[in-house]
Chains A and B, each alone.
Chain A
């Protein structure tokens, strides 16, 4: 059975468990808000103090004035109780206010940095990473982090402090019994540590599976037309269900560990309490302890219960945060391998076309075993138009992607006006080189914004010219003309319309180097002829590399390079090649078909 197999399993492999070190690495984001964090810690502690004083005031009131039936003596203490009561709420509110500002800001900052970082990671990274994995990091992992920063971190310390204080008080109340309690409680720490590790691994897996689920959803939505066209809703639902079930299993594993942890943390102290009762009563019987002391001891020990339970919960939350930050740092730690040169070379000041050279250029996809492009040489003179033809899969697209450094060459160099592209500042390079890709991508923005993607302050005149060259006059007839929003959140366009917009985008501002990957494939013959006519005008004033499958497009070029299996096997004019090269003739001539 083949169904059920179309899905992403790549992240299911065991990831290394995160460690507390990952938490410490969050510091740069926490730092700007350290004042808030300290403030939160202080208010939380104060609130706890107030909380424990309040009963004392009540007790003093009852034992004192009320027991003495002294109505007027009550007032100061009542006032105090009221004050503390209000104070507790106010401290509580203040802490939450501080949390609003800091935790949210930390989350927002990290999200911003994550997005900015991702935008600058190379295309090869994005090809490799399932998109849902990135998305789940920016949504659910970051909210986990926010909860931690705003809440858990503070309470973790506060609770730990309470536990330590209570233990100290127990020891001071009765050394033998107190120390015994401390010793007997020790295994709890070990058990907790054990479950904690396990929980970390399980949390990580659940988070990864959440990402896979998102990837699956995205694919099924983007592929909706294919799915509908083949009527495969059932199969998709099955795939989704099995993804969701895997996630459920992971969540249930987490749940089991959590149940174990909580049960241990919840009941173990109760067992200890039974022991304390037994030995305590014995101690009283033997006169080593007074009844009052025993009662005090037990009451105090009972106060450990809640902080311990809370600690169990906080530990789980912390482990989730550890796993979430490990996931985030996996991405943050990926450095772009398209490196900006340290001291960027400048292109000779010149606005005319540039010379484009491929000098023994080799390229191998990361992880591939063989080169896709082999030591190819190509010299495109300034102002020349070079067509690139070759059979499907010969490496044309990847060759075009190398010019603007969407990928880096793995051997040799590409030069613009004699300067290797990796010595130019990326911004400069990409300003000089303009590309139209084989699949036109539109963004949810106005037509104008889509055309002026690379040149936001292009003049109206330039935009008009670009539209004219790409024969994209249809945009003026859209409901709001150039202001019409297109793309996913706007109006959908036909394939040929999209392609022409992408072309207009590429030719806007007359770039010095123009790279077009099969730019006319979706156009009808008439429109194609019109576009070609218009293109010719600008091709004379720019250096161009045009990928073509059709003779008509090839005719735009001064020379043609024939690519086969990653090697340039011939370069010449169209008619030369047609006359001398069999492979070329076979590739471009339609003769065999023209029988009509």
Chain B
């Protein structure tokens, strides 16, 4: 075993993590541009927005709890009544009063029970309504955000926001709100009572609020930072987790387990340290509250006792005071515990509010322009320049000043070396990104001025990876057109030649393809993705290496289908196998982000003969030779 193999031999992160653009890095760790107050404000605002629709319900809930507290408080009084009034009569053989009072006790107990039940149910319902609202908001917003945001933010982080962070809010809502209300109610009522009993002693007791306030302040300041760190570190744990198990084949076959163990252990420890900071703050804060209460009680006892001894105060008053004090400081701990949950939830809400505040970098237009119907499918690139990392220290320009006009109904093949920028062009037409400069137009309308609805029904792209969702084959095909009937779905599958293998699956169209389509072979996945695009029936179809994993006969079948399907449509085909390109009536050769050749396949091949330097011609020759 080598040194790097040992699981606990800590690996310095700098040895493997690699470097990445600083600014991007900041965006990823979500360092807020604005300071802490702004973040907290965002979180509180979000909380406010979530609560607002439930105002009435919350008032009702408050009423319920006040009712419950009062009925519970009735019990001691009734018991006293039973002893004071009921007993003398009972001694004389009259049980009526006693029975009545016992009845009242029973009624009070039952009422309090019912009110408590109602309270628990109501507040539970409100809490769940708030959670589902929050989840939906964040989910929908994350889906609205651009592909480039997702690339930076990573899937693990989105998952962590929507699971672990939302959970923190759930904990806050679950944390006994009734306990808090009760506590606050108690504290208020008892303060008033104490002031009436003896203003000076009351002043002393209330003076304890000053150190308490300081303690809360201290905790609030420290814990905000600490809680924030827990949110960040747990996200990293999740990111690593998700990444490992999405790449488990590579992990196992390259014996990455031990190194991953070490990496994960580092993240796991970071998370633990973050939590540990929080817990240590607790272990000062909450006992601190107890301590203040206890010391204040003793102080009151001392001063009160002295005054009683000097005759300045009645013993009964002191006794009552002490009893009240217990009910005054006791609930303070509940308040402290609740405050802690609140702080934790605030840190999570900050993160969620950050996501919600993220402005889509590829926004839907505020005043969209209508797309002239029927859609012709004419694509124009007008002086387009593009870089994936325009903000970076060292931006790499991927497309340099591209002017391009794709006519209606044209089938354009895009060829070029890997990394030349073919996929990038396809992504710009699909408006995954907006160009850094210049505009892309569909039928003369800039893509940025089209509604998502219009754009997506006009342009569909089959991506290089052809992502499948877990669910049945039929559902995956229907993703292209959710309204499609089963017959239409089957027709689409038949058209691309996918039917044969689908029918061989154990449950045919209803077979679950499992996560990412793992139940199917690579080629089968591509066929399903193809069928999906056929079903969508767009005016502009983009195929990005959509047949790269197919065997040649199947590919041929797909091409035959393409011939008919592409008729009257605009199509952009990216492929390395030039057989696919042959159905094109125009070829663009891309080199390092520039179009270097443009013409019909015939012209380009002949260019070789005329000028002796055509790239497509060379490609074509090489390809023919490769067929051997």
Contact = CB atoms under 8 A, between A and B. Distances in A.
A binds B: yes
A88 B288 CA distance: 10
B146 to A, nearest CB: 9
A245 B125 CA distance: 12
B87 A89 contact: no
A344 interface: no
Given A220-B143, A522-B576, A8 B261 contact: no
Contacts of A39: none
A587 interface: yes
A363 interface: no
Contact of B162 (A217, A222, A454): A217
B220 interface: no
B458 to A, nearest CB: 10
A85 B255 CA distance: 58
Contacts of A232: 479, 482
Interface string B4-26: 11000000000111111100000
Contacts of A285: 87, 90-91
Contact of A135 (B242, B482, B506): B242
A2 B478 contact: yes
A404 B272 contact: no
Contacts of A3: 478, 482
Interface string A520-562: 0111111111000000000000000000011110010000000
Interface of B is mostly: helix
B110 A244 contact: no
- Which of B101, B162, B298, B311 has the most chain A CB atoms closer than 10 A to its own CB? B298
A552 B113 contact: no
A277 interface: yes
Given A58-B322, A457-B4, A494-B419, A6 B19 contact: no
Interface stretch (B34-42, B115-123, B346-354, B401-409): B115-123
Contacts of A24: none
Contacts of A324: none
A568 to B, nearest CB: 16
Interface in B233-247: 234, 237-239, 241-247
- Which of A448, A479, A529 has the most chain B CB atoms closer than 10 A to its own CB? A479
A1 B246 contact: no
Nearest to B102: A278
B550 interface: yes
A131 B601 contact: no
A97 B362 CA distance: 49
Contacts of B15: 449
Given A58-B301, A229-B461, A522-B576, A445 B79 contact: no
B437 interface: no
B250 A437 contact: yes
Contact of A480 (B18, B536, B579): B18
Interface string A57-89: 010011001110111001000100110111011
Contacts of A552: 626-628
B515 A217 contact: no
B531 interface: no
A95 to B, nearest CB: 8
B619 A1 contact: no
Given A221-B159, A237-B140, A551-B627, A494 B418 contact: yes
A21 interface: no
Contacts of B243: 443-444, 487-488
A554 to B, nearest CB: 8
Contacts of B524: 392-393
A586 B551 CA distance: 10
Nearest to B120: A259
Given A89-B287, A525-B623, A526-B619, A273 B105 contact: yes
Contact of A525 (B2, B260, B559, B578): B578
Given A119-B260, A126-B245, A393-B523, A108 B624 contact: no
Contact of B83 (A96, A267, A294, A457): A294
A555 B627 CA distance: 10
- Which of B110, B140, B465, B628 has the most chain A CB atoms closer than 10 A to its own CB? B628
A225 B121 CA distance: 41
Contact of B239 (A275, A489, A505): A489
A250 B84 CA distance: 50
B106 interface: yes
Given A222-B467, A596-B605, A118 B315 contact: no
Task: Report the contact-size class of chain A (Cβ under 8 Å from the partner).
Answer: 35 or more
Interface in A436-451: 437-439, 441, 443-449
Nearest to A81: B298
B626 A135 contact: no
B394 interface: yes
Contacts of A490: 18, 20
Interface residues of B, number: 206
A139 B455 contact: no
Interface stretch (B221-229, B277-285, B370-378): B277-285
A5 interface: yes
A12 interface: no
B380 interface: no
Interface string B584-628: 000000000000000001100100000000000011101110111
A590 interface: yes
A492 B322 contact: no
A459 interface: no
Interface string B275-315: 11001101110111011001101100110011011110001
- Which of A1, A229, A488 has the most chain B CB atoms closer than 10 A to its own CB? A229
Interface stretch (A373-381, A408-416, A427-435): A427-435
A245 B255 CA distance: 41
A162 interface: no
B54 interface: no
A18 interface: no
Contacts of A181: none
A274 B109 CA distance: 8
Contacts of A130: 470, 515
B554 A222 contact: no
A335 B246 CA distance: 20
Contacts of A493: 419
A303 interface: no
Contacts of A354: none
Interface stretch (B150-158, B202-210, B438-446): B150-158
Contacts of B419: 474, 493-494, 496-497
Contacts of A449: 15-18
A244 B116 CA distance: 27
Interface in B179-200: none
A251 B318 CA distance: 48
B463 A225 contact: yes
A176 interface: no
Contact of B549 (A1, A61, A71, A549): A549
Contacts of B311: 69
A457 B2 contact: yes
A298 B82 CA distance: 12
A270 B75 contact: yes
Nearest to A260: B117
Contact of A479 (B108, B394, B463): B394
B280 A100 contact: yes
Nearest to B94: A285
B48 to A, nearest CB: 22
A214 B17 contact: no
A231 B456 contact: yes
A489 B120 contact: no
Interface in A106-140: 107-108, 111-112, 115-116, 118-120, 123, 126-128, 130-132, 134-136, 138-140
Given A5-B472, A252-B124, 10 more contacts: A2-B475, A96-B279, A101-B276, A115-B264, A139-B163, A232-B479, A241-B132, A263-B117, A281-B87, A441-B250
9 contacts: A2-B489, A71-B310, A115-B264, A116-B261, A119-B251, A140-B164, A223-B469, A266-B113, A291-B87
* The 4 residue pairs across chains A and B that have the minimum distance between CB atoms: A231-B456, A446-B18, A496-B418, A85-B294
